[in-house]
Structure 1
């Protein structure tokens, strides 16, 4: 029988990073990242540029390869009635199995409250995840605007 942790990992691997739901008609970009066909198509239409939302690589042509293996995995996860938006599927610290609640600005990674108090992070700066998301969204938007102006 699969452990809860294994089910959570399965769920994470079968979720589109754009819609945050199980993949529907998953496709792979030339950079190797995967998205639902409709999600990436809509994203490209909004931006009017063919770039990967994860790594920002720009593609001169829309080369979308069907990812059947990922489609099968997503279907199996659906059959297990896993909820990709379930609070139980929040990422957990691999060391302490605690919810990741903080963003370590120094190491640029998510950590749990126990990690925050460890020697490894003693002199580091932290933000609540929601605050870090807002800050990095703004920075990403500014970077995209500069990129758009250059091209």
Structure 2
């Protein structure tokens, strides 16, 4: 069975020197050191240079080679015991291999006592930093929770207003539809009444005119007969 020290040594091999957690998507730099891909990119963006966070070797470009073997090994350790890091693997500085006991407030990162590059910065113990940031996070959480509650209340009020407008609009639409239906019925009835009066007036006028027409036609026939008689007499 592996000893406690052996387990510790094996665990350290699958822990990223930057985030101090099991490797996630590990990559190998040109110098041979391994880090999480996201940790490497964040470090380069923060320092604005392409260098190894551990040995400080500079690179001409950002070449990141995927280390699948290390990824598989880290995943096995993570599945074996997610809390294996715990007390068995102290937080260590990747550059000086000493325990990380301080928090650099200037750079917002954990440092060891040997980190001379931070000597002019503001720093505190990790315990103090944890308390301060927890208080800040709690304050932010309380503030965001209140804002969320306020927005949810306003959201509900707005939904109620929208529902009220829709109900009012539907009621007005129903009333308008009803009113225009009544108007259409009145217009139809009026149209039919006017058409009936028109037909009656048309029949009355035509009857009189047709009566005169028949009299004209009768007179024409009488005259025609007289003309024929006169012609016969002349012959």
* TM-score class normalised by the smaller sequence: 0.5 to 0.7
Q: Name stretches of at least 5 consecutive residues in structure 1 with no aligned partner.
A: 92-107, 111-127, 143-151
State how 1:107-146 maps to structure 2 within 5 Å. 130=101, 133-134=112-113, 136-137=114-115, 139-141=116-118
Q: Is the 2:16–2:22 Cα contact (8 Å) retained in structure 1?
A: yes
Question: Could you state the TM-score of these two structures normalised by the residue count of structure 1?
Answer: 0.61
Structure 1 residues 48 and 129: alpha-carbon distance in aligned structure 2, compared to 1, 3 A threshold:
closer
Q: Name stretches of at least 5 consecutive residues in structure 2 with no aligned partner.
A: 103-110, 120-235
Tell me the SS of whatever aligns to 2:35: strand
Counterpart in the other structure of 1:58: 58
Tell me how far apart the structure 1 counterparts of residues 89 and 44 of structure 2 sit (CA, whole Å). Answer: 29
Task: Identify, as 1 or 2, the structure richer in helix.
Answer: 2
Q: CA deviation at 1:141?
A: 4.1
Q: CA deviation at 1:140?
A: 2.4
Task: Identify, as 1 or 2, the structure richer in strand.
Answer: 1
Tell me how far apart the structure 1 counterparts of residues 21 and 100 of structure 2 sit (CA, whole Å). Answer: 20
Tell which structure's C-alpha radius of gyration is larger: 2
Counterpart in the other structure of 2:89: 89
Tell me the SS of whatever aligns to 2:12: helix
Q: What count of residue pairs does the alignment treat as equivalent? A: 107
Tell me how far apart the structure 1 counterparts of residues 71 and 12 of structure 2 sit (CA, whole Å). Answer: 14
Counterpart in the other structure of 1:39: 39
Q: Is the 1:23–1:74 Cα contact (8 Å) retained in structure 2?
A: yes
Tell me how far apart the structure 2 counterparts of residues 130 and 79 of structure 1 sit (CA, whole Å). Answer: 28
Question: Could you state the TM-score of these two structures normalised by the residue count of structure 2?
Answer: 0.41
**Backbone CA RMSD of aligned residues:** 2.7
Question: Which structure has more RCO (C-alpha within 8 Å, separation ≥ 6)?
Answer: 1
Counterpart in the other structure of 2:175: none
